[in-house]
Structure 1
Amino acid sequence: MVSTEERDGAAKVAAPLKGPLVRYRVLAYVTGVALLLLTVAFILKYGFDSAGMMSWAGVTHGVFYMIYLVLAVDLALKARWSIKGTVLVLLAGTIPFLSFVAERVVTHRVEVGRKL
């Protein structure tokens, strides 16, 4: 069980990171959904010879992933993450479902004041 002092201390540590964390979380979810759509587009193209989704799914994920990279690096610099942790979070946007997992881990660690 976490004491009130520990919880308040974590909230004070996370307060300057609140904006960058919210921006990161939104883009982590958007990037994850875009990657799932791209995965469906690949399955449709190569499994069913239907390339309709490929024309927009790849571009959509690419744009969101670039924004995700910028926001994740911004959060990493402000939260003083290690290079290894930063690279792992950046790569999370390239593997289906992993951006959702990384978002949960990052959110938890930032909220309790732990570095990645």
Structure 2
Amino acid sequence: MNPALTRYRVIAWIVGVLLIVLTVGTVLKYTSEDETIVALVGPAHGFLYMVYLVLAADLARRAKWTLGFTALILLAGTVPFLSFVAERVVTRRVRAVSAPSPVRSTV
């Protein structure tokens, strides 16, 4: 499950950064009429968000998450800064489940 987690973590950060840049670009678009950032970053974020959805759904299937938790993680790429929070929550959850159990000595 580690490769799926790594793929998810990378795309979560990329989508999160692009969403913040896109948010700044949107503010600039409506305050200074400069659409350059939105025109450049908007399509990239849209495409990469679709990749985020696929990779998050793949990780959810492998980790056997509930439908509700999966939906929250999928939506995290639409709120600025939330994908970073979701990435930390997901990483902790997956690592806790896949961590080897401690070996007890019988001596």
Output the TM-score relative to the length of structure 1.
0.82
Tell me whether 1:39 sits opposite 2:23 in the alignment. Answer: yes
1:112 correspondence with 2:96: yes
Q: Which of 71, 76, 85 does residue 101 from structure 1 map onto?
A: 85
Give CA-to-partner distance per residue, 1:7-50, whole Å, 9 cap, x none: xxxxxxxxxx1000000000000000010111011011001111
Q: For 2:38 and 2:90, how far apart are their aligned partners in 1?
A: 31
CA distance in structure 2 between the aligned counterparts of 1:107 and 1:52, rounded to whole angstroms:
35
Correspondences of 1:12-27 after superposition (within 5 Å): 17-27=1-11
Which residue matches 2:104?
A: none
State the match for 1:9 in structure 2: none
**Pick aligned residue for 1:81 from 58, 65, 70:** 65
Larger radius of gyration: 2
Q: What letter matches 2:52 in structure 1? A: Y
Q: Partners of 1:29 and 1:98 in 2: how far apart?
A: 10
Unaligned runs of 5+ residues in structure 2 are: 99-107
Work out the CA distance in 1 between the residues paired with 2:2 and 2:44.
26
Q: TM-score, normalised by structure 2?
A: 0.89
SS in structure 1 of the partner of residue 36 of structure 2 = coil
Measure the CA separation in 1 of the matches of 2:87 and 2:19.
15
Q: Within 2, Cα distance between the matches of 1:53 and 1:20? A: 31
